[in-house]
Amino acid sequence: MNVKQAKKLDKPLSRKHTFFLAAALALIIGISQAIAAVGIVADPVIGLNDPIMGSKHDFTGLNERAGVNAMEGVAFTDYGNPCVYCHLPPEEADTNSELLGGIEGWNRFAPAEEQYTPYTSASLDAQLRTPASISLLCLSCHDGTMALDMVIFKPGGFKSEDDAALHMRMNSANALTSCGKCHDGFTAHDISPKVLGTDLSDEHPISIQYGGFNWRDRDFKLPQQASGFSNGVRLYDGNVECASCHDVHNSTNELLLTVRREILCNTCHTK
C-alpha cells in the first residue's frame, strides 16, 4: 500500500456510504428479529409455506380477506401467527397442557367433555367414547362454547394490554360475544354451517373404533395401513376422528374434506 492509498483509507465515510451502511444494518437487524419471532411461535412441524397460511384457519389474515377492520382486535385477539391458535409454542412443547386446563398436546383450553351428546344408533356396534384430544381441538372452536382466541400460551413478546378483544364464540346466537351477531347471512356470510354445537347426535360419530380392522365388521373396508387409507383418510389409534375426514392443512376440497365428497364415504363404507 502506498502513501496515497493510505490517505484514502483515513478519509471519513461520505453521506452516501453512511446511508448504505445504515440501511444494511437495519436490514440485518430486521431479518434477525423476524427469524427470532418465527422461532418463538412457529410449530416445528409447520413452516411458513404451509397451506394454512392465508386459509380460513389463519386468524391473522381475516381482516385482509374480509376487507374490513372488524376482526382482529375486536372479535378476537390477533397473536401475529396462525400456529399458536392450535399448536403449543416450541418452548412449551414438553408442557402437559392438561394440567393447565388444556387439551392434551395442544395450545387450547379444553371444552367440557360431558356437555356433548354423541351419535348413537341401534345398529352401532362400536363403543361410544368421549371425544379424543385431536377432535376436542376442533370442537373447542366449532362447538361454539369457547372463544376462538382461548389459547393457553400466548406468543413471546405479546403484551396483555393488547388483549382487548370481545373474544367472540363461533355460534349463531344474536349476542355481542357471538360471531353470529354479524355472520347471519345478511350483514356477513352465514356462519351456521360451520357451527356443530354440543349436540353431535346428528353428526358422524367421532372418537369411535373403526370397524374394518381384521374384518370384524363387513360393512367397512380394510385400510391399506394401520394409519388409514392411501387416499389420505386417516385413523388415529384405530379410531375415527374429525381429522379422519377433514384436513385443515392440505385440503383444497369443500369443507376441507380429505378427499372429494362423492368418494369420501366409500373410502370406509362398503355400502
Q: Specify if 267 maps to a domain.
A: no
Lowest mean pLDDT among 18-32, 67-81, 254-268: 18-32
State the average pLDDT over residues 233-238.
94
Query: Domain range for residue 58?
Result: 46-111+133-196
For residue range 177-192, what is the model confidence (pLDDT) as tens digits?
899 998 999 988 899 9
pLDDT at 261: 93
**pLDDT, greater one: 52 or 206:** 206
Structural domain total, the chain: 1
Q: How far apart are CA 271 and CA 262, in angstroms?
A: 13
State the average pLDDT over residues 190-219.
87
265 pLDDT band, cuts 50/70/90, is very high
Provide the whole-model pTM.
Answer: 0.77
Answer yes or no: is pLDDT of 11 > 80: no
Q: Specify if 209 maps to a domain.
A: no
Q: Specify if 17 maps to a domain.
A: no
Q: Specify if 28 maps to a domain.
A: no
Q: Specify if 22 maps to a domain.
A: no
State the average pLDDT over residues 106-120.
91
Lowest mean pLDDT among 59-73, 114-128, 158-172, 224-238: 59-73
Q: Specify if 116 maps to a domain.
A: no
9 pLDDT band, cuts 50/70/90, is very low
Answer yes or no: is pLDDT of 146 > 80: yes
Answer yes or no: is pLDDT of 198 > 90: yes
Q: Specify if 32 maps to a domain.
A: no
Q: Specify if 261 maps to a domain.
A: no
